[in-house]
């Protein structure tokens, strides 16, 4: 994708903010965040997940961006590819962990029943309204996971477009400002998306236990599918 570079510093920073907003909508980002948001039981907590992801993402971008600016270099293709593969593995791990949590804590269970002399296996959904991954009891751990996921995304070539633009900015201070504004845009975008993702989950948890379990299962399966698809594309 080619972009017409703005002539003014303000125009460049506005472009960075818009690209940051757009960047938060990447499928792998939403898939990862949805697995974490699914365990939260308030819209505010879901929004906080997006903010923490954005902060971790921005922190990683700053480190990588400063290295690129200071060394006047670029990320080797092999390293970038390896980091992207790490994202694929992370997505599969997040989805698997969510499904495992559901299977242990009252989400989806398998029951055997006998009808007319024949045994049948049924998937049964118990009340999952009070089931989560336990992070809400440990604020530090609850904050650590979305922040770490954001860091991984920030390192994994997700900023390819941003770093390409950095190479065209002659002023180091303006380049750093661009990274920060890009990060602010990604934080804003992910806060909005995590809030939207959290709304149906919160409503389902409060009123419809079965729907809550189904939505959380979809989040887990979706993360695994996106991770496998990303790994397949890289392979």
166: Cβ–Cβ under 8 A, 6 or more apart, which residues? 65, 68, 69, 175, 178, 179
- Backbone region of residue 106 per phi and psi (left: phi > 0; alpha: psi in -120 to 50; beta: other values): left
pLDDT in tens, 223-233: 999 999 988 98
pLDDT in tens, 96-151: 988 988 888 644 444 445 545 555 444 344 444 444 444 544 566 677 889 999 99
pTM of the model: 0.76
Angle at 131 between CA 114 and CA 203, to 5 degrees: 100
Angle at 48 between CA 42 and CA 54, to 5 degrees: 150
129: Cβ–Cβ under 8 A, 6 or more apart, which residues? 205, 206, 209, 212
């Amino acid at each position: 994708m080619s972009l017409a570079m703005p002539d003014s510093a303000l125009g460049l920073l506005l472009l960075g903010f818009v690209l940051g907003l757009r960047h938060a909508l990447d499928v792998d980002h939403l898939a990862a965040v949805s697995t974490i948001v699914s365990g939260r039981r308030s819209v505010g907590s879901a929004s906080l997940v997006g903010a923490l992801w954005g902060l971790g993402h921005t922190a990683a971008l700053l480190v990588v961006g400063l290295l690129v600016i200071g060394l006047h270099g670029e990320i080797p293709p092999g390293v970038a590819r390896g980091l992207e593969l790490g994202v694929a593995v992370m997505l599969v791990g997040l989805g698997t962990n969510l499904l495992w949590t559901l299977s242990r804590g009252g989400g989806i269970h398998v029951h055997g029943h006998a009808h007319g002399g024949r045994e049948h296996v049924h998937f049964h959904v118990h009340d999952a309204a009070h089931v989560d991954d336990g992070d809400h009891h440990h604020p530090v751990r609850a904050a650590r996971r979305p922040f770490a996921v954001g860091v991984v995304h920030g390192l994994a070539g997700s900023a390819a477009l941003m770093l390409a633009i950095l190479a065209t900015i002659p002023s180091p201070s303006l380049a750093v400002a661009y990274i920060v504004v890009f990060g602010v845009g990604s934080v804003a975008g992910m806060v909005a998306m995590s809030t939207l993702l959290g709304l149906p989950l919160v409503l389902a948890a409060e009123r419809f236990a079965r729907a809550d379990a189904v939505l959380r299962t979809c989040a887990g399966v979706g993360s695994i599918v996106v991770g496998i698809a990303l790994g397949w594309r890289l392979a």
